[in-house]
C-alpha cells in the first residue's frame, strides 16, 4: 500500500509552504495530486521526491523554467543525460554568481569611500561635491578623490 500525505505534512517534511506546493502543481512541476473523498490533496512518496528535487534546484538558484526542463530527465531516474544538462546550467549559474560578486565588490568599495568621506567631514564641510540640484543635499554624491 502506498502512503499518501496531506499538503500540511508534505510542507512540513519538505520545508515548503502549501501555497508554494500548489503553485508548483499549477505550473506543472508537480502533477495534480490524487484527492481524498473529501477533496483534500494526497501526495505520494514520488511527489515528495519530486518536491525535494525542485527545492534542491531552487537552493542552487535555478529558475523554475529550467527546473521544469530538467525534470523530465530526473523523472526516469537515469542521471546521465541530466548530469550533462546540469553541468551546463551550473556553469552558467557560477558565471552569474562571479559577475554578481564583482558588482558587490564594486558596491562595497563605493560604500567604503562614501562612508569615509562622510565620517571625515564636519556637517558644514564642502569636501563633498556640490549637488547638481540646488537646494538638495549632496551627501550621497560620489566624493572627490
Domain 1-77 CATH (choose: 1.10.3720.10, 1.10.1660.10, 1.20.1370.10, 3.40.190.10)? 1.10.1660.10
Apex 100 CA angle, 90 and 71, nearest 5? 25
Half-sphere exposure of 65 (CA within 13 A, CB side): 0
pLDDT given for residue 120 in this prediction: 83
34: part of which helix (H) or strand (E)?
A: strand 34-35
pLDDT given for residue 124 in this prediction: 55
Ordered mean pLDDT values, 10 residues apiece, the chain (145 residues): 85 96 95 92 94 93 88 75 83 94 96 89 57 71 68
Tell me how many helices (H) and strands (E) the chain has.
Answer: 5, 2
Is-above-0.85 flag for pTM?
no
| Secondary structure (DSSP) of 72-140 | HHHHTT-HHHHHHHHHHHHHHHHHHHHHHHHHHHHHHHHHHHHHHHHHHS-TT---SPPPSSTTS--TT
pLDDT given for residue 99 in this prediction: 97
User: Domain coordinates of the chain in residue numbers?
Assistant: 1-77, 83-145
Amino acid at each position: 500500500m502506498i502512503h499518501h500525505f496531506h499538503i500540511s505534512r508534505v510542507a512540513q517534511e519538505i520545508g515548503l509552504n502549501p501555497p508554494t506546493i500548489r503553485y508548483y502543481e499549477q505550473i506543472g512541476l508537480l502533477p495534480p495530486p490524487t484527492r481524498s473523498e473529501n477533496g483534500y490533496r494526497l501526495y505520494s512518496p514520488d511527489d515528495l521526491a519530486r518536491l525535494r528535487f525542485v527545492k534542491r534546484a531552487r537552493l542552487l538558484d535555478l529558475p523554475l523554467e529550467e527546473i521544469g526542463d530538467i525534470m523530465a530527465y530526473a523523472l526516469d531516474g537515469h542521471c546521465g543525460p541530466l548530469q550533462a544538462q546540469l553541468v551546463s546550467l551550473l556553469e552558467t549559474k557560477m558565471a552569474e554568481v562571479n559577475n554578481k560578486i564583482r558588482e558587490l565588490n564594486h558596491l562595497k568599495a563605493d560604500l567604503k569611500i562614501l562612508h569615509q568621506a562622510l565620517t571625515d567631514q564636519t556637517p558644514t564641510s564642502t569636501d563633498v561635491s556640490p549637488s547638481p540640484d540646488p537646494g538638495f543635499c549632496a551627501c550621497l554624491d560620489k566624493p572627490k578623490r
